[in-house]
Structure formats: C-alpha cells, structure tokens
Amino acid sequence: MNEVLERLLQAQVRYELAKLEGQELARTIEHGVARLFAWSRTVALQDVVTPEQIHGVIERYVVELRVSGGITELTGELARLVLQSRRSASTRFDEIVTPASYAEFADKLVGLDALRRVLIQKLAQSMTFSAINAQLIARGSLDLLTPSVVRRAFGAASKLWEPLSRSLHPLIERRLADLLEQFLERHRERVTRDVEQRLLKVLEPESMRVLLDEIWDGVAAMPLSEAFASIGEQDLEDFVVLVHEFWLRYRKSDFFREISKEMVDYFFAKYGAQTLAAIVDDMGVSEAMVSAELIYFLQPILQHAARSGALEQTLRETLSSFYSSDAALRALQG
C-alpha cells in the first residue's frame, strides 16, 4: 500500500474509533437516526417493499423454518420457574388481575348474549349432555324408590315396601332406564327445547355475573403458588409440547397461509402509500425513542469490542479494501 494511503488509513481508523466512544457515540447515533427519520419522511412503504416480499418472508421464516427443540425446552423451563418462584408465594391473584380488570372482563363476558345463546343451544343438542341428563333423571327417580325415602313418606307402612324394594331395585333400574331412553328418543326435540329454555333461564346474565363474582371472591386473595398448586411440572411440560405441536401443524395449514396473506395485503392497502415516518409514528415510535434504545444497547457492546481490539480490527479490514485498491491510488495521484 502507498505510504500516503497508509497514513490516510490510520487517520481514518482513529477518526472512526473516536466517533464510537463516550459522548461522541451518542452524538453519532443521534445524527444517524435523525438522518434516517428525515429520509423516511420522503419515502412511501410501497417504494421500498412489496407485499410479495413480505409473503416470502412469512413463508420462509414462519411456515417453513425449523423450530429448534431448544426453544420448546427453554419455554418449559421458564414456565416451571414461574411456578416454583418464591415470588409466587407472596403475590396474590388480585395483584396480577386487579379487581377493576376482573370487573371489565366479567361485564364483557356476561354481555356476550348471542354467544351465550349459541353455546347453550349446542350444549342442549349435545348427545353427551342428553345422556347425562337422562342418567340424572333416572337416578333421581330411583332414589324415590329407596327404603329411606319411602320410610319418610309412608311411615310404618314402608316396612312392607322395603324388602320388595331391595329385590326389585335392579329390575326397576334397568326397566326405568329403558323407558327413559325410549321416552327421550320419542320426544328428543321437545326435551331439547325444554332443556335449552331452562338453561337460558338459569344461566341468564345476572346469574352468570353472580357465579363469576363467587369464583372471583374465592381466588382473588389466593397466592399464585396456591393457584398453581394443581398444575404439576409434567402437566406444564405436556401443555408446552401440545402448544408447540399445534403451532407446527397450524402454521402449515391453508387457513394460516390465506389469512396471513389477507392481513399483509390489508396492511399494504392501508399504509402502502404512506411514508415510512408516518407508519412508524402510528406505531408510537419516535426518533428520540430509537436513539435512546440504540445508545443504551450499543454502548456496552461497542465498549467491549473496543477493549478487545475487535472494533479496530473490523474497521481496519473494512477500510483497507479501499485504501489498497487501484481506485484509491488513482485518486491520490489525481
């Protein structure tokens, strides 16, 4: 390398290092961010990126990217840490979910009248619920035939019934179950309607709010450790695995691909013609915020790199490629 070019290289390396130290680093970052924001006010989103590019990023890094097992393992470990934390023993449930937050959530839940009606309708029409309902009716009917009930109802006369009841009970139970099954089958639609109307009446908004308030009163003062006590470590690990496996399947579904495409297209339809600065401002990010965070994170990194010599080496290697080139020599020679 030419001697003059070598001196220029050394001077620029020192100059660039000085810009990355102490207060000069803050001024360098602030100046760079200010120029970036000034440029972003002149450029629209659609000028620098297209929906197709974002679709490609989602496909490569959301749909197809292999999710490391280490991420799943770390998630499970962090979840266990929360369960086992000493802080959980001294923190009450209502410190995390405040009474005001609970009240807003409960009001909204109770106010979902259309959803309440749909869920009750589906429940009343469920075969499983019908079977449980039939079993409860059968058990209630059979209980009326037990010696203790008959004794209370008929007094001394019940002694004549007790031996007969014990011997006939299994037969009556089977026969009653058959009759109930036949009855429910013949009148399924009417029974379903009756059950649905009854549930709508029982689970009306005010009753639901009372039920929610009772549950809240039971858990509000409970320490988190007590609330977590029913969740074992293995249960937590299984849950993490289930969520992980669901995500792996869901991200490759046609629904996810289509819905993510629709969201990206909508975003570009709404913001495509706006400047980058306007979009960033809509997100609540300011020039001062970006500068402050860059200074906060970059300063210790660059300080370490400077102490180890890595920063100077990187700068020297980057600049040397130009100062060792023929273009630099021709520029020096005029």
Q: What's the distance, Cα to Cα, between the start and end of the chain in Å?
A: 17
Average pLDDT over residues 85-95: 90
Which has more confidence, 269 or 234? 269
Yes or no: say if 227 and 98 are a contact pair by the CB < 8 Å rule.
Answer: no
Give me the residues paired with residue 44 across strands: 275
40: part of which helix (H) or strand (E)? helix 22-40
In the chain, the percentage of residues whose pLDDT exceeds 70 is 85
Q: Please state, in angstroms and rounded to a whole number, the distance separating the CA atoms of residues 60 and 214.
A: 48
pLDDT at residue number 154: 47
Give the HSE-up count for residue 217: Cα atoms under 13 Å, Cβ half-sphere. 6
Q: Do the Cβ atoms of 34 and 294 come closer than 8 Å?
A: no
Residue 289 tokens read as: 């915020």
pLDDT digits (tens, 9 = 90+) for 241-288: 888 889 999 999 999 999 999 999 999 999 999 999 999 999 999 999
CA distance 321 to 334: 20
Task: Report whether pLDDT(184) > 70.
Answer: no
**Least confident span in 91-95, 187-191, 252-256, 263-267:** 187-191
Residue pair 82/88 in contact by the 8 Å Cβ criterion: yes
Global confidence as pTM: 0.73
Question: Is pLDDT larger for residue 271 or for residue 199?
Answer: 271
The answer to whether 168 and 174 are in contact (CB under 8 A) is: no
Q: What average pLDDT does range 53-69 have in this prediction?
A: 90
Alpha carbon distances (Å) from 71 to 13, 62, 75, 244: 40, 14, 6, 10
pLDDT of residue 158: 47
Q: What is the pLDDT of residue 212?
A: 92
* Token digits of residue 128: 């499983």
Confidence of residue 215 (pLDDT cuts 50, 70, 90): very high
Q: Is 275 helix (H, G, I), strand (E, B) or coil?
A: strand
